[in-house]
A and B are shown apart, each in its own frame.
Chain A
Amino acid sequence: MATEAITSISSGNAKLQMRHMSIAFERDGKTIPVLENIDLEIRNGEFICLVGPSGCGKSTLLNVMAGFLSPTEGVVEIDGEAVRGPDPRRILVFQDHGVFPWLTVEGNIEFGLSKFSGRERKERVAHYVQMVRLQGFEHTYPPDLSGGMKQRLQVARALAMNPDVLYLDEPFGALDAITRVMMRNELMRIWQAERRTVIFVTHDVDEAVQLADRVVVLSSRPAKVQDVHSVNIPHPRNISSPRYLEHRDELLQKIGLAYSV
């Protein structure tokens, strides 16, 4: 079923392509396989969520895509070019503590912009401060920001680099439930305005169904791609509509959970 979903995409407009990718970690002299034989194609401008049981290697997969980890076998290509390391064209947003506490909001956003002229920098900072709604906090240091504001700042800093792929590693995982829902709306609004390719790791099935064009379901460790699930509901998605619930239940079943206690 999974392979069907993958091959149905014409490989002509693939943004990111992963073929036979495996990665194993060495620990105490033993080799522990984490991801096994992953095949994946992601289209330009797509919003992809990676879900799976906790500890299955979702973050590892994201870190391989972002170039922080090298696969043991197989290749990852973006625009037909092999990923060899982290690259400013693709920015990763971390779950927690990702913003620099020694820089103000403004300083964080212009962190990677030193090669631009002063005017260009100013314009980008102003643009993204507005986009993530941090106006009035330009000169505030992160210890004085709330958790949600810090994550918005991290997204703004990433977007200011004008990346073609945005990786998000459980970016709202450390936030409370209400802030999390608000952040999803913000992210959806930003994605609709900017149309980057977004690859989003989450353990929250609701989050995945609300955000994703396609949800990649990983099995438990050593993880394989168990399924690729398309969510063909237009945005904004009504979380109590029968269609939404159908998708959610289907996904939960694929992960091996039933929504009853």
Chain B
Amino acid sequence: MNYSSEYSPPAPSLKIKLARPFSDHSLELQAKLDTGADMTVIPQYVVSELRLIPASRVSVISFDGHKVWRYTYFVNLSLNDFEYKMVEVISAQRHDALLGRDILNRLKIALNGKTLSFSLLDP
């Protein structure tokens, strides 16, 4: 897969599918691989469109140590041929998703910045 040039500099990004639990109601969107993120982040509009129900609260620490709390949601997430049920995510005002280490640590990821390409495997 190729890095997306929609980001500057280009970033590893791919299409994911998010679905409301116990429902066929789903949508696809772009997600950027973010090894720094402890948890996957989804855009706020997805919460509204899928009518996700908050399940918990976490304290989120950003890069400058700033701390805010956010509601979490359980969602079914799939990418390529991989499917993950009941992934706990937080939402933010953004257009794409961030795939955090909660998902990335389940995969073998190879990033090739030289060729701006990457691969995801589930060994």
Our verdict on whether A and B bind, yes or no, reads: no
Binding site for B on A (CB under 8 A): none
